[in-house]
Amino acid sequence: MPDIVRIYSENNDFQHLEVLKRNRLKRTQSGEFFVEGVKPIELLIKNNWCVSAFAYSEERLSDWAKNILKNSTADKHFELPLGLMEKLSDKEEFSELLAIAKILEDDLSRIKIKNTLLLVVFDRPSSPGNLGTLIRSCDSLGVDGLIVTGHSVDIYDPKTIHASLGTLFSLPVVRLQSDKEVLEYIRDLEKKIGAIQIVGSSAKAQKEIHDQDFRPPTVLLVGNEMHGLSSNYKTMSTVLVKIPMHGSASSLNVANAASIILYEIYRQRKYQ
């Protein structure tokens, strides 16, 4: 049974919950992160992530929340008055249930390897909204795993989780330091499943996405929002591709562009 901890003021327990929401360093140090929203919490539980605590107010609990708490395996349940729950929540109409979950290790073995492999590498994402949106697209369009490299936004930022609609908990997302580690991983995979094409996305590429055969095992490389694909990743690429553009815009938002490419990969693999 979880320990019930009643919080009546902005004490140390409250401050610990609040700091996990806003401070990346504290999340890293504690190995925990903050989850809010019905869908994210449902996917967190469905995918068997370790929940260390729930926070709620007895003054406002739906049958949905009561059922989750009844079946909870968390170490602690924090009971708060409505006013403190409102301070913790980022929503306009504050959440009735908040979760504190354990951060997973960045273990590449979480990615299931198969002959139809499709991986995405997002280098140095700077926007939690873009990262969360791409996670959501990857989950929707048959990607086996997402690798985030370099100095990037935190994948456990509440804004990232919100933008992903909780699909972060369904898709293996692993952080690596550099392109060298990515290339080493790809070469190791090739020993198991054979040749893997490395496709870089670039607005300046010559080849358009519909002219590229995406049916073989593929790693799609996506660059930073401002600087695009790095020179190292361009050198690593088997081929560079672009989305055909019309109108005055010279490029698309990175998450939108990657989603379009992923749909083309999905279309080719399903219908060709």
Question: Could you write out the three-class secondary structure of the chain?
Answer: CCEEEECCCCCHHHHHHHHHHHCHHHHHHHCEEEEECHHHHHHHHHCCCCEEEEEECCCCCCHHHHHHHHCCCCCEEEECCHHHHHHHCCCCCCCCEEEEEECCCCCHHHCCCCCCCEEEEEECCCCHHHHHHHHHHHHHCCCCEEEEECCCCCCCCHHHHHHCCCHHHCCCEEEECCHHHHHHHHHHHHHHHCCCEEEEECCCCCEEHHHCCCCCCEEEEECECCCECCHHHHHHCCEEEECCCCCCCCCCCHHHHHHHHHHHHHHHHHHC
Determine the pLDDT at residue 161: 97
pLDDT digits (tens, 9 = 90+) for 149-188: 999 999 999 999 999 999 999 999 999 999 999 999 999 9
Determine the pLDDT at residue 172: 98
**Residue 88 pLDDT > 70:** yes
Give all domains of the chain, ordered by start, each with its CATH number. Answer: 3-102 (3.30.1330.30), 108-271 (3.40.1280.10)
**Residue 204 pLDDT > 70:** yes
**Residue 27 pLDDT > 90:** yes
Q: What percent of the chain has pLDDT over 70?
A: 99
Lowest mean pLDDT among 11-15, 84-88, 171-175, 233-237: 84-88
Using pLDDT thresholds of 50, 70 and 90, give the confidence band for residue 96.
very high
Separation between Cα atoms, residue 227 and residue 245, nearest integer Å: 19
Half-sphere exposure of 228 (CA within 13 A, CB side): 14
Determine the pLDDT at residue 67: 97
Region 121-138: mean pLDDT is 97
Lowest mean pLDDT among 94-103, 179-188, 200-209, 249-258: 249-258
Are the C-beta atoms of 113 and 105 separated by less than 8 Å?
A: no
Region 224-237: mean pLDDT is 92
pLDDT digits (tens, 9 = 90+) for 258-267: 999 999 999 9
Separation between Cα atoms, residue 18 and residue 89, nearest integer Å: 9
Torsion from C-alpha of 54, 58, 63, 67, nearest 10 degrees: 40
* Average pLDDT score over the chain: 95
**Residue 250 pLDDT > 70:** no
Higher-confidence residue of 48 and 250: namely 48
**Residue 137 pLDDT > 80:** yes
Residue closest to 27 by CA, chosen among 152, 132, 157, 153: 157
The position carrying tokens 């539980």 is: 45
Determine the pLDDT at residue 61: 93
- Alpha-carbon distance values, 79 to 53, 58, 176 (Å): 11, 7, 37
